[in-house]
Amino acid sequence: MKVEMERLIPLLFALLIITAGCSEPLERGKQVRDFTFIDQNSHSFGKEQVVGTPWIANFVFTNCTTICPTLTSEMAGLQELLKQQGLNVQFVSFSVDPEVDSPEVLKEYIAKFTDDENNWHLLTGYTQQEIEAFAREEFQTFVLKHDSSTQVVHGTNFYLLDREGFIRKEYNFSNESYQKELLADLKQLN
Q: To the nearest whole number, what is the mean pLDDT of the chain?
A: 91
Percent of the chain with pLDDT over 70: 88
Across the range 107-122, mean pLDDT stands at 97
Among candidates 84, 93, 85, 107, which has minimal Cα distance to 55? 93
Give the per-residue pLDDT at 4: 58
Any bridge partners for residue 124, and if so which? 38
Say what the pTM is: 0.86
Burial of 14 (0-12, 13-18, 19+ CB in 10 A): exposed
Q: 95, 61 in Cβ contact below 8 A?
A: yes
169: containing domain: 28-189
Among candidates 86, 152, 95, which has minimal Cα distance to 121? 95
Among the residues of the chain, which ranges form H helices? Answer: 2-20, 68-84, 103-111, 128-139, 178-189
Confidence of residue 21 (pLDDT cuts 50, 70, 90): very low
- Give a yes or no: residue 3 inside a domain: no
Statement: residue 17 has pLDDT above 70: no
Q: 78, 85 in Cβ contact below 8 A?
A: no
Domain count, the chain: 1
Statement: residue 117 has pLDDT above 90: yes
Give the per-residue pLDDT at 12: 43
- Give a yes or no: residue 11 inside a domain: no
Query: Domain holding 33: CATH number?
Result: 3.40.30.10
- Give a yes or no: residue 68 inside a domain: yes
Across the range 41-64, mean pLDDT stands at 98
Phi first, then psi: what are they for 132, rounded to 5°? -65, -45
Amino acid at 155: G
